[in-house]
Every structure is written in C-alpha cells, then in structure tokens.
Chain A
Amino acid sequence: MAELTLDLRRVVGRWSLRTVGHAGRFAYFVADLARGLADWRVWMPRTIEQAILVGYGSLFIVLLIAGFAGAVTSLQTAYQFSGNFPKYLAGGVITESVILELGPVLTGLILAGRIGARFAAELGTMRVTEQIDALESLGRSPVTHLLLPRCLAGIIVIPALVMFANATGFGVGWLAAKTTLGISNGDFIYGARFFFQSFDLWYSAIKAVCFAGAVTVIPCYIGFNTQQGAEGVGRATTDAVVAASVTILMLDVVLSELLLPGVGQ
C-alpha cells in the first residue's frame, strides 16, 4: 500500500511538472508569435500561400459537412415538431442551431482533424529532420517563416469558412424542411427572421476566431516541439488533433456562458 501511494505521488508529481512545463513553454510560444508580428515582410507572403492552401483545400469538406448538419437538423426538427406546433418555429430552430452551434463547432472539429493534423505533422517532420534547426542556423526565424503564416492563415480563413458553412447549413436545412415538414418558404423565412438577431452572426464569428486559434496555435506548438523521430511525429499529430478538438469543445461551453445573454444568470 505504501509503495502504491509512493508511486501515485510520483505519477501525480511528474504529471504536474509536465503540465506546468507545457504551460510555461506555451506562454513563451504565444509571446514569440506576438513578437514576430513586427516582421510582417517575412510572414505576409507566406500567410497568403497558407491561406490559399487552408481555405481552398478545406472548402469542399466544410461545405459537405455543413450541408449534412443542416439536413440532419431539419430532419430532427421535423421529428420533434410533428405535433401541433406552428411550422414557422422550424425555420427559427434550424437557423439558430446552424449559426450558433453546428456551423462553428463542426467546422472547427473538421478543421482540427484536417488543418491541425497537417500543421503538427509538417512541423514535427521538419523538427525531427533538423529542417527547423537549419532555418535557425541560417539566421532566419521559424516563428516568422513557419509558425505565424500558419496561425494567421487559419485565423483569417477559418471564420470565412464558418460563414460559408452557416450559409450552406441554412440553405440545405431549408430545402430539407420543405420536403420533410412541408413548410412553405414564407413560413420558414418568417421563423428564421423571428428568432434571428444580428448578434447571432457576431457570436458565430467570435466562436470561429477562437476555434481558429485552437485549430492552429495548439497543433503548431505541439508539432514545433516534436521529439523522437517518426514515432514522435505520429504522437504529435494525434495529440494535436485531440488537444485542438477538446479545446474547441471547452471554448464552446465557455463562450456560451460568457457571450449568450441570459445564460448562466
């Protein structure tokens, strides 16, 4: 029993040390990113390249997922509102579900897998093959050459992708509602406008920016600190996707609590 207690203390001690170490290194990492912003001549052209890669490359999958999300929301609304509810309510429920939750969260989770994994694997491979050391040895900063372009590209492009996802989810949800609920265009639009506030789009955009931070900064940090060869790259990639996804879901709760009027009061 004494040995078990000692082992438990060791495990907790090591875990605590590792966590505090990561927190400190992550804080330095973010500070380095902020300092690197001054060298805009270096990161600007690379950011545009990355933005095209991230945005154009992710557009199809994001729209596909958003379309499915809109359709499923519509089908479930049809199931739940099959009684004597006024049909226009479905327009409000579908619109609000897509804009407030499904658009940003599903896009964030998909991009955590797509972009987060890519950034972590790219930077991890560059780390273990000494390409990052080589960049530094040439007097060039990995922050402005590699990290800032990836993070900024994500932070610029992901909110735009979320807005496209919102529009697609809304459009497909509308079409699905017409077929499953038999709702008229007028009723759907009335319901959507009845519940919609311009703040909803701001809220969606704020979530998108925060999720973009999680999808880019965390995988970049994990990839940049990869160790131990191919196995390390594999571990970094998995860790990056898991950490970014969990952070998105945590941020979702926190932002709902902080930003939605009336919640938590």
Chain B
Amino acid sequence: MIELRQVSKRFLDHVVLDKVDFRVDDGETVALLGPSGVGKSVLLKHIIGLIRPDSGTVTVDEQNVALLGRKEIAALRSTIGYVFQNGALFDSMDVRENIRLGVTNDEQFNDVAYCEARVTECLRLVNLQPEVAKKFPGELSGGMRKRVGIARAIAGKPKYLLYDEPTSGLDPVNSDVIDQLIERLQNELGVTSVVVTHDVRGSFRVADRIALLWQAKIRAVGTPEEIVQSQDPAVQQFLERDLEMTIIQNESTDGS
C-alpha cells in the first residue's frame, strides 16, 4: 500500500503540495488528475523517494520512504517501476540495454540468457517487435519511446507501477494504445498503479479511483462514477476537459 499523510512540499516561495493525503491500496489503479504544473509529478516522485517531503510522511509497504537508508531505498525502488514522462531512456544504450537495466535483481541481471528472454518478453508485453531491441532511443518515435519506458519499468517485475503522464504528447491513436497497454498490464501482472495524467478520458478507462490535485491539495477522490456525479465546479470543469480551468481561476481571483 502507498500512503501519503499530510505531505507538504515547497520550492522557494512556491507551495506545490500542502498537507496532501493520498492512498493507493494493493491491486488498485488510481489516476491522479490535475492541470499541468500543479505538482502531480512531484507527488509521484515523493513515492519513490526522488523528492523528500518538507513535512508529512510517505509510506510504501509500511516503510517511511524519507527515513530509509541507501540500501533500503534501493531495495524499495526495485519493487517500483517508474514510467517517466518522456521515457527518460539512456540514450547511450540500445533498447536491449535500457530494458536490461530494469532487471533489478543482481543475479538475474548478470544472467545473460535470462536478460535476453526478459527483454523479448517485455517488448512483447508492450506490443513491440524483438528487432526493436537493437535500436537506440534516438531512432524511436515518441510512442515507441513511451512503450520502451514501460518495458523497462516492468522488466524487474515490480509490485507497483508509477506512470508519469504516459500519454502526454501523443496523438489520440497512440494514446489509446498506451491506455490499452496500462489496462493489459494491470490485468496480466496484477500490479498496483498510480497514473499521473491530465487525460480525463484515459484516466476513466484505466482507473479504479480518481483523485484531482488542485492548488496544492487533493480536491476530490472517488470512483469514476463518484467523480462524474461530483458537484464541485473544479471537478466538473476538469471533466469537460477545459484544462485552462477558468472557473477555478475566477473562483480564486474572487476569493483573493
């Protein structure tokens, strides 16, 4: 289980997270919605310990992430697959080596036959041909990069998968492919997932629960049905896919 309790984070004068509570139970997929720049990725990076909270606690499998030592955090991270927004593939390595680095068990990592089989298997899971393994990231399209990023994230058979804007920058067809992929991985691997996105349609498709992050706080949490029925103007505005969130901005201007 992943749990954030009263987590606050600020960068200089900018408060990004303000006493945020957020929970993901084992086996479920939670989509974290919110406008660009609201702090969704920052929240995701707290879960894996890439960013430490100013206050509050982040626990994964009942371990306080901020208090873990070097080896403990490495061990925890090996149970979490993180899909970066732009793939974050190592551009000096080919796809095979990129995915192989995702094999987090040292014994398996040094077993060439295992790694070869695992690379092929992960490419199959993300609907890519084995020949792609020889290519370098610079030779891949945006959609393929995202899929290779997912393949690397699942190579270590993680318990948790964190997706950071998996469909941003993709055309609708490729976005659908990625959404299908997330659903499929969820069904085939049974992982617990957090999907950070501003794609409302995609989030309704893949998520068991949806949370809306707005103005440094979780504004609403619920099943897709509960979110649809929410009377909160911010939620309604977001569902209408108006990413400008004009109502919210007017609301905050009136309030100030």
Interface assignment of A84: CB less than 8 Å from any CB of chain B: no
Main secondary structure of the interface of A (DSSP, over half): helix
Set of chain B residues within 8 Å of A134, measured between Cβ atoms: 82, 84, 88-90, 152
Set of chain B residues within 8 Å of A133, measured between Cβ atoms: 45, 50, 84, 88
**Contact A130 B84, beta carbon cutoff 8 Å:** yes
Task: Across the interface, name the chain A residue whose C-beta is closest to B105.
Answer: A139
Interface assignment of B244: CB less than 8 Å from any CB of chain A: no
**Contact A129 B74, beta carbon cutoff 8 Å:** no
Within 8 A of A (CB), among B26-72: 45, 48, 50, 70
Within 8 A of B (CB), among A133-169: 133-141
Contact residue among A126, A137, A141 (Cβ-Cβ distance under 8 Å from B50):
A137
Task: Across the interface, name the chain A residue whose C-beta is closest to B102.
Answer: A138
Contact residue among A126, A131, A140 (Cβ-Cβ distance under 8 Å from B74):
A140
Q: How far is the CA of A170 from the CA of B50 in the complex (A)?
A: 52
Contact residue among A130, A131, A138 (Cβ-Cβ distance under 8 Å from B85):
A130
**Contact A138 B88, beta carbon cutoff 8 Å:** no
Set of chain A residues within 8 Å of B101, measured between Cβ atoms: 135, 138, 140
In the complex, per-residue mask of A99-136: 1 if CB is within 8 Å of any chain B CB, else 0: 00000000000000000000000000010011101111
Interface assignment of B91: CB less than 8 Å from any CB of chain A: yes
Q: How far is the CA of A138 from the CA of B91 in the complex (A)?
A: 16
Work out how many contacts link A and B, with CB atoms closer than 8 A: 52
Within 8 A of A (CB), among B75-126: 75-78, 80, 82, 84-86, 88-91, 101-102, 104
Contact residue among A126, A129, A139 (Cβ-Cβ distance under 8 Å from B77):
A139
Interface size class of A (residues with CB under 8 A): 10 to 19
Set of chain A residues within 8 Å of B88, measured between Cβ atoms: 129-131, 133-134
Q: How far is the CA of A252 from the CA of B78 in the complex (A)?
A: 45
Query: With A131-B91, A133-B45, A133-B50 in contact, is A139–B86 under 8 Å at CB?
Result: no
Query: With A137-B48, A139-B104 in contact, is A129–B86 under 8 Å at CB?
Result: yes
Q: How far is the CA of A178 from the CA of B84 in the complex (A)?
A: 64
Q: How far is the CA of A35 from the CA of B69 in the complex (A)?
A: 13
Set of chain B residues within 8 Å of A126, measured between Cβ atoms: 90
Most buried by A among B88, B101, B102: B88
Q: How far is the CA of A234 from the CA of B77 in the complex (A)?
A: 31
Q: How far is the CB of B231 from chain A (nearest CB, A)?
A: 38
Interface assignment of B156: CB less than 8 Å from any CB of chain A: yes
Query: With A130-B84, A130-B85 in contact, is A137–B90 under 8 Å at CB?
Result: no
Q: How far is the CB of A29 from chain B (nearest CB, A)?
A: 15
Q: How far is the CB of B93 from chain A (nearest CB, A)?
A: 10
Within 8 A of A (CB), among B142-197: 152, 156
| In the complex, the 8 A-B pairs of residues with the closest C-beta atoms, listed nearest first | A134-B88, A137-B82, A130-B88, A139-B77, A139-B78, A139-B74, A130-B84, A139-B104
| 9 pairs, CB–CB < 8 Å, chain A vs chain B | A129-B91, A130-B86, A133-B50, A136-B77, A137-B48, A137-B50, A137-B84, A138-B104, A140-B74
Q: Can you name 15 extra interface pairs (CB under 8 A) apart from A130-B84, A138-B78?
A: A35-B70, A131-B89, A133-B88, A134-B88, A134-B152, A135-B101, A136-B48, A136-B50, A136-B77, A137-B84, A138-B101, A138-B104, A139-B74, A141-B70, A141-B74
